[in-house]
Amino acid sequence: MAENRSAQQVREITDKLEQGIKELFESERFKEYLRTMSKFYHYSFSNTLLIAMQKPEATYVAGYTSWQRNFDRQVMKGEKGIKILAPAPYKAKEEREKIDPSTQKPILDADGKPVTETVEVMRPAFKVVSVFDISQTDGKELPDIIVDELSGSVENYAAFFEALKQESPVPIAFEDIPSGAKGYFSPLESRIAIQEGMSEIQTVKTAIHEIAHAKLHAIHPDEKTAPEDKKDRHTKEVEAESVAYTVCQRYGIETSDYSFGYIAGWSSDKETKELKGSLETIRKTAAEMIDSIDAKLKVLLAEKSQEQTHDMPETVRKEKPSYLDVPVYRETANYAYEAGELDAYRASYDANIACADAIEQAISENYADNRLATRVAVETVLEQFSEECVQYVLANTVQHSLHDGRYHSENKDWAGKISVCEENSESFIIGQAHPGLVNLFINQFKDLLPEEVQEHHETISTPASDMAASPKHRLTSDEKQIRDAVMDTLKARIAYANDGMRSTVKASVQSQKIMAQNAVRIEGNTVTQNGEPLFAIHRRYSAKKTQGCYRELTPTLEYVRQEKTQEKPSIRDQLKAAAKSQPEKKAPARTKSHDMGLE
């Protein structure tokens, strides 16, 4: 299941990437960029390989006079050209049999021999020519759709970059790259170079880009000829940057401004055939890198934490970080990005992982002589984490182990009432403690848990006044089916409102059928059934504007149907009703008596 959730998240990110590039294609800036880029010649695979061997960091190359004539730029003095092969066909004369145009057969002379003639033909040939990269020229600036450089920091940058170095199939080193490129992968030297002195975000993004090249586009020594299905430079760059964007998004690193322009610049047309043709490769590579980086990062951060704890003075070492003020964030990373709430998402994610570790440690430290000091263990954890966070982690652990008989059925029911976001939920499972001890921990925690926290569930929000007055309504199977159909329909409507005809989200036929069969309608911010309110729609909008407006996000539904309660009738009313329901008894009719005898 974890693999499915991860794949779904990667798919959502790459879908967002496609949409962002489509929007960029409509901009005037891109049209001007295309007019200029169309003047560059597209080189064959063999010439692309020659360019990469001689100048791996090259981006845009053209001939000496082409730079002058088409781009108002001049090759700088002393620059060494990149040698490639250019077609140089030449004319030659050869003797051929003369063909009769009507019969298409050789013409014969009087002796019956074919008549010949001298014809001029073009023979294919190649010559070595020099081209120069843009970094070797000076003059008028080319229009660009890529921001100069990303800026900003990355959380746990040192550990994250170390995880990338371990993930890379070739060594990574910093150096000063004279060409101005931010990095490059050299297939011949089997190494990656990163421009030194860049921001943390730009460094990480560039490293992932080059690692993707190393994984997908390395040249093997035994490949002497290029197969026909070899990818061109455009496809390679689109794949590498798409992987970089996807991986960065997964870790909350925003690279849209840079990546969208970069990918659009390497696409050969507005249909982004390179991106569409490589989506499965991009998704597979990004998912594998994310899983691997997650594992490496977890180990590195744990080692870092141990080193810091070891180096601390004894008095400081006993002080543990407090997460009491960190609220539980129950939405996905993609939603957090759209809503401008990534900081809250990251803080909650870190708190959940720390809470799971703290529970395991508390159980370990308070278990002795086959007995768990449950109250002490729970209170120790509650000194660092809020009741809501502890409840969230415990419920998540039980939800992943419903098959385990060592968790009591009451605790399984309790956990099932608590909504847990599936994304990253496997990261904060209490897996190192015995389930029986965790079950005891839950029992004690529930005893200490304030009543209002026990009743706080996020599946469907209920006003506090209603919660105090009556128990929370649990949706029936039919109501759940209606809720899912309504959400499916709402998502389609919102996508159309946000993106118009470009929207690819559509409500399923099954959802429309369910709503029709149950007489369900969406009227403004209310969902009605047979004209009576069933759900209230709580709409949400992004914190940042996109194309001048705030995009609507996925809403939440609140159950608002009023339960019809009938007053119990009094005893007297019940007796009257019972009497009325009985059939009227009539006196039997009088008849003459007859002696009954035998005949």
pLDDT digits (tens, 9 = 90+) for 94-107: 888 888 888 888 88
> For 25-82, how does the pLDDT look when each residue is reduced to its tens digit (9 = 90+)?
666 555 665 556 566 667 777 887 888 888 887 878 889 998 998 888 999 999 999 9
pLDDT digits (tens, 9 = 90+) for 390-448: 999 999 999 988 888 889 989 998 998 888 888 778 889 998 889 989 999 998 898 88
The predicted pLDDT at position 162 comes to 92
User: In this prediction, what percent of the chain has a pLDDT beyond 70?
Assistant: 78
Give the model's pLDDT for residue 166.
93
The reported pLDDT for the residue numbered 591 is 46
Strand partners, 475: none
Q: Sort 359 into a burial class: Cβ within 10 Å, 0-12 / 13-18 / 19+.
A: buried
**Pick from 206-215, 253-262, 372-381, 389-398: least confident:** 253-262
Phi and psi, residue 259, nearest 5°: -65, -40
Q: For residues 234 and 271, is the Cβ–Cβ distance under 8 A?
A: no
- Give yes or no for a contact between 25 and 91, defined as CB atoms under 8 angstroms apart: no
CA 380 – CA 362 distance, rounded (Å) = 7
Q: CA quadruple 250, 255, 259, 261: dihedral positive or negative?
A: positive
User: In this predicted structure, what is the pLDDT of residue 596?
Assistant: 38
- Percent of the chain whose pLDDT exceeds 90: 19
Q: How much is the mean pLDDT over the chain?
A: 79
Q: Between residues 179 and 434, which one has the greater pLDDT? A: 434
Give the helix ranges, DSSP H, for 168-272.
Answer: 200-216, 233-250, 256-266
pLDDT mean over 485-499 = 84
- Whole-number pLDDT of residue 545: 64
Q: Between 473 and 4, name the one with better pLDDT.
A: 473
Give the residue with greater pLDDT, 529 vs 333: 529
The rounded radius of gyration (Å) of the Cα atoms in the chain is 37
pLDDT for res 184: 92
- Any idea where the domains of the chain sit in the sequence? 2-27+145-296, 89-124, 320-459, 477-559
Residue 206 has pLDDT above 70, yes or no: yes
Token pair of 212, please? 């993707």
pTM: 0.40
